[in-house]
Amino acid sequence: MIFIGGLIEWIVDFVTDAWVVRKRRSLNKRADTSWRRAGADVAFLDGLTVMLSAFAVVSFVVLYFSFELSFGLAFFVSAVPVGLYIAYRWIRLMN
């Protein structure tokens, strides 16, 4: 049941993100994009988010356990740049 709920949440999130991208682009006086193009842009950003988040987790584990950095420093070095880059890409997608 949890799997079905997560799948429904992902589908609703994806459709909502594509709708928001189309709406923001039309408000910015850009050419109207199709659902296919907006969906491809959102899918690319979602895939990039998953890939970079996995990289951040792996780099955090390596920094924390192998190099024995403090928790805060390992988190800051690994997760904060990824979060900032994903936020930047989201803003660029909307504009």
The whole-number pLDDT of residue 56 equals: 97
Tokens representing 38 are 């907006």
| pLDDT attached to residue 39 | 95
Model confidence pLDDT, tens digit, residues 6-25: 999 999 999 999 999 999 98
Q: How far apart are CA 14 and CA 46, in angstroms?
A: 9
**Greatest C-alpha distance within the chain:** 51
The pLDDT tens digits for 33-78 are 899 999 999 999 999 999 999 999 999 999 999 999 999 999 999 9
Distance CA 15, CA 35 (A): 9
Position 1 pLDDT exceeds 90:
no
